[in-house]
Structure 1
Amino acid sequence: MNVKIVLSCAECSSRNYTTTKNKAGNPERMEVRKFCKACGKHTMHRETK
């Protein structure tokens, strides 16, 4: 059961990335380090609702 998710920056809250994940294998919220264009640096991005 793959679903589309949106990743937002933990520091500035801008929504930068969209991706998919398997909800059956990974039910908790996803967190990855990605580049934020608004901040201009690599930050933690978390899955939003």
Structure 2
Amino acid sequence: MVLGSKKIKNISSLDTEIGNLEFVVPDLVIDELARISKANNKKKVQYLMH
């Protein structure tokens, strides 16, 4: 398992060289993104982010 924060360049060649990649996103992150996406204005989003 590798945690990464940098953009992967040439992902197609990476797939060819090392095989299929699977990205796992924790449920906590998915829930937070869903909650933020339900906000209907910027002020609400800023409030949710703090």
So what's the TM-score if we normalise by structure 1? 0.24
* Bigger share in strand: 1
Structure number with larger C-alpha Rg: 2
More helix by proportion, 1 or 2?
2
Normalising by the residue count of structure 2, what TM-score does the alignment of the two structures yield? 0.23
Higher relative contact order (CA 8 A, sep 6+): 1
